[in-house]
Structure 1
């Protein structure tokens, strides 16, 4: 998952700010005493003062930064000169530097090191931030200036990047109610304010359930679990004051391996229920009523602008364009995915019967027996593969890939030279391998901990643009690997290694940006996952496997026979992976197409999945009450389908590499990859960019083949 930038995530793409170039055309402002607002100092063109952050500083910093930004906007709005690209659009691109810095700290505290005290501040700030956004997005005089520039550009187009930023700015204001009358604008702002509080409440409820539902094991309940996992679980339990036990936390990184290997079926059920019941426990932290209210407010808000439903409004500026196009893609894949699940379940049931287990496969059995099927069919043991997947070596593999494709070199910075927000965070300098030119810094925060949201994501603290001079990039990857006991290696699953590469793809997308204006660093949601999904493919290339997959104890390279087994099993369990994902994406879309009046969320989820023919043996990847992508904000609302949309591009682009003379390291194709798919960010229409890379539009056939599904006949 990507958080393209903390600023963009929290502003919800309503207000278009620039990043952190320090000169400004806006009248000088007095230097604040609040460290969160102050210009970044130190090496590498200035870095965030993460070592000086405090909860107490957040609220006053945010309030001051909002005032400063509103003053900047007011200066632009009241400019007596006629609106031009320079005095309106470029001037807007130059605003918000103080706010951008504050949001960097705010985002870190919210995602990586949250606390009850910070969550209280979040709740207090949410409605104030909403008011702030509305004050800009509904500024009639400002919008008229934007419209003047936009209309003029339709008669006399500007150079390509300037025209793109004008088009995007106008569209964002238009989509967010700028053309509404006074009465409707007032209601629009009220709805946004209500939603901002609901989003915060939703996210905090999920975080509460992740932190408070922990399964503690006794010594005689560890059957099937790997030694490293046991040691880590013991340390977590000790840290929580439960010495002598073993803690299975309510996070995917803990739940997934436990369900895969534990021989304790009742405990597997308990851990499964804890995880998939987050936000759905019928208590004060239950999210079902919050979701129902969010859906009602979203529909009402887009109705003010004449849209029938939220999905219709949201997808108009995405690659899919319409909900129907998104649904067509998902339903083209769904039958093949669910049919494959039936085959997988039959195989698992056969194994269970052969073992004399006398059970019928249930959701908490799927991973456990799938692993046994994998071993039976392909003689492949996932735990054996993990011995060759060390986090440190995978990091080196990513650096190697970045060097081959992007000509980047990663060098650890001197210890203590760059402030970090937690002792687990490490930092590298990114330079060009040939010229030595400094490109930026890469921060890695790899481990799960109290107060850190689940999952994996990428973000930027400073993005690249050039309209006020070139800037370096400060990018971050964040994971939730289980921290090992002291002295133990961090071993991860193949799926987790794939996700690690995925998120690094987002970071490379940030580093390689070649755009003039800050707005162009944004992205189209069903396209920006494509670049990171594509980078996953390099994990399984021979160069990475042969150099970086070595045994964590002996240092011996992974045996060729084991590599062959991995490749032979590449489409194994694709029914599970595709179906659990698509179920979430389909529910996301169908919820936003439905009438939310008196909607019962649990009932809707259950009945819709029944209608779709969802296999009973597995759940959605993200059940609705914990679906933070969609209900803790709006970034992925009616857009979770985007991973599948992007994967069509990914499979098709991968084919271009496979068919080239140099395979995945072909220099010519790699140069086109960087030039057309990474560097432009949102400076070019995604469909046009892909055609420049591939010479045509993407086709679904490669995706179906990659997943081992029947390839549809070409009509």
Structure 2
């Protein structure tokens, strides 16, 4: 067992995970041993006869199960980015075991008594701000995770937690399976009419890799989105739309509707066991928004501002479509197609025009250079750092004094074993050991960008450039962390605050000065022309009302599911229709269901938190106004943002961190102004 690479010392650069040595068969034995060690760590705290102190209880709890944390982060990140049936089976086996371990901590009366003893005398302990936050968070975690329950209620809490860990895992597996299951194989030239050459080339290469003639399109973002924008065949657009919008809603083994019912009902029961009316109330107690009422008011305020614009935008597309041959009602599978044509006519611009200037490697270099100019950090690829897939690259990150800061992994392209979308995660958190060593983080950015083809490198759409900036912003939050405790470092902040560092970075994609630095033609090296940049910027608010309403509809759907006060037994599709009715701009389509593939809230950490994207848009628009005022590369402003927000993790309340940078609390005005959602 000593040969298990997960249990041995990591003899790799910076002690990064030894991906090149880990076999799938290593995971479960490693989990079993690490879980045993973690339980011993906890037992030692529980059984200690010493008077409870901040160090022997709170810090000891923080540090317990360190090996288990490392193995868990490696395993579950791989389960998202490079999974297979074996890994998924292990995930199903280990998740309840890890839930049981957590419950043994949070439901331990002895442990809670020790924590409570320290919490009650906190004012006498002379704790610094970060120590106080850790103590406060630990006490609240016990009370919010069942420590105040007794008898049958405690047993039921355990049961619910275990069931939820299994169900949320299954939800995500089902969405991945359904996404991978559909492929549109086209053999007739007329069926790919309207599609740009680069999109056809990628689809042809995929068909060739499967030893088929013609073209293959999938439900992966780089394939699905352009097909919906450009394919002239209305029938095939509908086929693609229906495949995408009915995922995990086919009444087969991958159907998620019953899983949704079970998840929302168990979350409701758990919240009510803990004394809350519903899951949203439970979650929002620990968010900037604080209550469901505040969130709903926020969403409705933005909806009222956005909806009139969205309705006008849909009418505009409807008129255009009718004038240009659509003899039917404008449907969802028509909207992107005709919108792209209107955008092209209105602004003489399509996203395909910019792709030659956004070669992935050049964009990567441009984003790294931006981080250097703002925060003084630099990046150096190290091919000796093991990676989990041959396409992954690993960089060492250094601060402005050339001190090692972090390892950054980047993983850009879609694969069958990778979930859709884009995300940032950690393979190791930043923290300071009891001996004073600053352990630096291992940060990973995972995306699903357009692949290179036989004759072109990976060329990004403008939207993919903003996605890269977004995830890189999360990465900065992790890489620049300077906290003492792991649970307070990096992105371990309130969910409605975590999107501020990511979304503020997107603003540079709206700045001509930066776009000129990053936009270089992949063949000629020519800088992106001013005329094309002007078209990007002038079209930036095209359909901003519609896009705002769409995002708000997701938040409203989330809030409706998690504001239920009574057990749900009805139709998932009908409930969703009702929840999103105020945002509806198109006829409903039989058989489609957004919720059945809404992984953010049913398989991720955004339950009762999806509004956070919009919340953080308010923060980022307001915060970026300081950069606009002082200069988008202003070092002093960047340093203030880094010192007050990026380095601080969750060591203070988010609003305190925000005000320390901004000097005031944010308002909606900057966002509405930036989005063009204020009537002139």
TM-score using structure 2 length: 0.96
Partner of 1:26: none
The one of 412, 426, 433 aligned to 1:460: 426
Contact 1:338–1:614 (CA under 8 A) maintained in structure 2: no
CA distance in structure 1 between the partners assigned to 2:277 and 2:542 by the alignment: 41
Counterpart of 2:623 (choices 628, 653, 658) is: 653
Write out aligned runs for 1:412-427 (5 A).
412-413=381-382, 415=383, 417-427=384-394
Contact kept in structure 2, 1:248 and 1:254, CA below 8 Å? yes
Q: Is the 8 A contact 1:195 1:294 kept in 2?
A: yes
Structure 2 residue corresponding to 1:603, chosen from 574, 587, 605:
574
Match of 2:398 in 1: 431
Aligned mate of 2:452, from 484, 496, 515: 484
Q: In the comparison of the two structures, how many residue pairs are matched?
A: 673
Q: Give SS of 1:421's match.
A: coil
Does residue 627 (structure 1) correspond to residue 598 (structure 2)? The answer is yes
Partner secondary structure for residue 438 of structure 2:
coil
Contact kept? 2:573, 2:593, Cα under 8 Å: no
Secondary structure of the corresponding residue to residue 380 of structure 2: strand
The alignment partner of 2:557 has SS state of: helix
Counterpart of 1:442?
A: 408
- What is the SS of the residue equivalent to 1:427? strand
Judge conservation of contact 1:658–1:664 (CA < 8 Å) in 2. yes
Q: Which runs of 5+ in 2 are unaligned?
A: none
- Give the TM-score, by structure 1 length: 0.91
Q: 3-state SS of the aligned residue for 1:51?
A: coil
Q: CA deviation at 1:596?
A: 3.0
**Alignment RMSD, CA only?**
1.8
Q: How does 1:348-427 map to 2 (within 5 A)?
A: 348-413=317-382, 415=383, 417-427=384-394
* CA shift for structure 1 position 366: 1.2
Q: C-alpha distance in 2, partners of 1:157/1:692?
A: 24
The equivalent of 1:227 in structure 2 is: 197
Aligned partners of 2:70 and 2:649: how far apart in 1?
22
Alignment partner of 1:513 out of 481, 494, 505:
481
Contact 2:95 2:166 in 1 (8 A): yes
Report if aligned partners of 1:334, 1:582 keep a CA contact under 8 Å in 2: yes
SS of residue matched to 2:59: helix
Work out the CA distance in 1 between the residues paired with 2:350 and 2:593: 27
What is aligned with 2:262? 293
Q: Which residue of 2 aligns with 1:28?
A: none
**Deviations for 1:4-26, whole angstroms, at most 9, x for unmatched residues?**
xxxxxxxxxxxxxxxxxxxxxxx
2:533 counterpart of 1:567: no
| Structure 1 residue 185 displacement after superposition | 1.0
Distance 1:618-1:153 versus aligned 2 partners, 3 A rule: farther
Q: SS of the residue aligned with 1:235?
A: helix
* Map of 1:13 onto structure 2: none
What is the Cα deviation at residue 32 of structure 1?
A: 4.1
Alpha-carbon offset, residue 355 of structure 1: 2.3
Alignment of 1:129-528 (within 5 A): 129-156=98-125, 158-220=127-189, 221-239=191-209, 241-413=210-382, 415=383, 417-433=384-400, 435-468=401-434, 469-521=437-489, 522-528=492-498
**Residue 174 of structure 1, CA deviation:** 1.1
Greater mean alpha carbon deviation, residues 223-232 or residues 703-712:
703-712
**In the alignment, which residue of structure 1 is the partner of 2:25?**
56
- The Cα offsets for residues 509-530 of structure 1, whole Å up to 9 and x where unpaired, read as 1111110111111111000111
Aligned residues of 1:580 and 1:618 also touching (Cα < 8 A)? no
Q: 1:203 to 1:658 in 2, by over 3 A?
A: same
Report deviation, 1:487: 4.2
1:697 aligns with 2:665: yes
Distance (Å, rounded) in 1 between the aligned partners of 2:307 and 2:184 = 31
Distance 1:155 1:180, change over 3 A: farther
- Does the CA-based 8 Å contact 1:295-1:592 persist in structure 2? yes
Q: CA deviation at 1:575?
A: 2.3
Offset at 1:237? 2.2
User: For residues 680-695 of structure 1, what are the structure 2 equivalents within 5 Å?
Assistant: 680-695=648-663
Task: Find the residue that maps to 1:677 and give its secondary structure.
Answer: helix
The structural deviation recorded for 1:351 is 2.2
**Can you list the C-alpha shifts for 1:491-523, whole angstroms capped at 9, x where unaligned?**
122122111100000111111111011111111
Shift of 1:212: 0.4
Corresponding residue SS for 2:426:
strand
After the TM superposition, list the runs of 4 or more consecutive aligned residues in structure 1 that deviate by more than 6 angstroms. none
